[in-house]
A = this chain, B = another copy of it.
Amino acid sequence: MYREEIKVLDCTIRDGGLINNHYFTDEFVRAVYKSLTEAKVDYIEMGYRSSRKYAPPGDFGDWKYCDDNAILRVIDGIDSDIKISIMVDAHRVLEQEFKPVDQSPVDMIRIATYVKDIDKAITLANRCEDLGYETCVNIMAISAENEYDLIEALDQVAKCPTGTVYVVDSYGYFFCEQIEHFVKLFQTHLPGKRIGMHCHNNQQLAYANTIEGIRHDSNLVDGSLFGIGRGAGNCPLELLIGFLKNPKFNIEPILKVIQDYMIPMREEIEWGYMIPYAITGSLNQHPRSAIAMRNTEDKDKYAEFYSRIFGVE
């Protein structure tokens, strides 16, 4: 599949940070930045810009805050034209500060929001656009939203200057037919905006669903190295790059950083396809119950887990 407009965002540091409270070493972040630069990936997402009031220092590593200085420290000396993205939770915005874009290493701010917080997301998007940043609005957990409310939110976002709105399958619930439905729904209600795809791999469909989004003209797609991300993780970047036939991409630096860093890391922290995440995904539930049970002695008691949560939420 080749379409020049398709851009790829790597969310390794950001979504992966949800597993280890954002305690990645500078060496690792630097290696990822360097490899994605060489691979010609379009965007790297460094983490969240969280409020220190909501997320007290000491509980989290640097990539929970993504201060401009921290970003400048890890990219220092690496010649790169990759764009840097950070994420902000619309419902947890307090004193986060953003310098004007020309005084910051950040290029893009992605605003994660639930439908109920869409007004906060739009306010924040307006503020970031005014400062010169590219912005995205990522509407989470749409598989669990009332479609009437979702459409109302989309119609509001349509009037805001943000360039990209994401279809986010937070629970890893969708299969291809639903992806097609939502991408088309977003296109109908967001004329002129780019549609993004962020999929979770609970049912081993993150890559397939990303392809489905691309087939329906989604042009900003997320992946992560070896699929790292909370729970079952994300669309594996290595598969996505193999699929996109844009000759600018180079897969070898990606394979190298996976073998050097992700395989050893997978021995320390857990992500990827596991039965409890498949269960919550297939039941259209948040993975929190699966994450919790994976931290107990009963982490492999799948049948008991299933019978416990089936029909609960």
- CB within 8 Å of B: which A33-82 residues: none
Binds B, one of A117-125, A186-194, A202-210: A202-210
A100 at the interface (CB under 8 A from B): no
Q: Mark A201-225, 1 if CB is under 8 A from B, else 0.
A: 1011111110110010000000000
Q: Cβ of A239: which chain B residues have Cβ within 8 Å of it?
A: 203-204, 278, 282
CA distance A207 to B37 in the complex (A): 32
**Which of B212, B259, B307 is in CB contact (< 8 Å) with A302?**
B259
A167 at the interface (CB under 8 A from B): no
Binds B, one of A88-96, A148-156, A158-166, A250-258: A250-258
Q: Mark A253-272, 1 if CB is under 8 A from B, else 0.
A: 10110110001000000001
A182 at the interface (CB under 8 A from B): no
Residue of B nearest to A306 (CB): B255
Q: Is the CB of B306 within 8 A of A251?
A: yes
Q: Mark A223-244, 1 if CB is under 8 A from B, else 0.
A: 0001000000000101100110
CA distance A226 to B253 in the complex (A): 31
CA distance A203 to B263 in the complex (A): 17
CA distance A251 to B273 in the complex (A): 17
Q: Is the CB of A303 within 8 A of B204?
A: no
Q: Is the CB of A176 within 8 A of B208?
A: yes
Q: Is the CB of A175 within 8 A of B303?
A: no
Q: Is the CB of B208 within 8 A of A301?
A: no
Q: Cβ of A130: which chain B residues have Cβ within 8 Å of it?
A: none
Give the distance to chain B from A298, nearest Cβ to Cβ, in Å.
10
Q: Is the CB of A203 within 8 A of B278?
A: no
Known: A176-B176, A203-B239. 14 other contacts (CB 8 A): A176-B208, A176-B211, A204-B206, A204-B239, A226-B275, A236-B278, A238-B275, A243-B282, A251-B306, A255-B275, A255-B306, A258-B302, A259-B300, A272-B273
20 of the cross-chain contacts (CB-CB < 8 Å) are: A175-B243, A177-B215, A203-B239, A203-B242, A204-B204, A204-B208, A208-B209, A236-B278, A239-B278, A242-B282, A243-B282, A251-B306, A253-B303, A256-B303, A258-B302, A259-B275, A259-B301, A259-B302, A259-B303, A273-B273
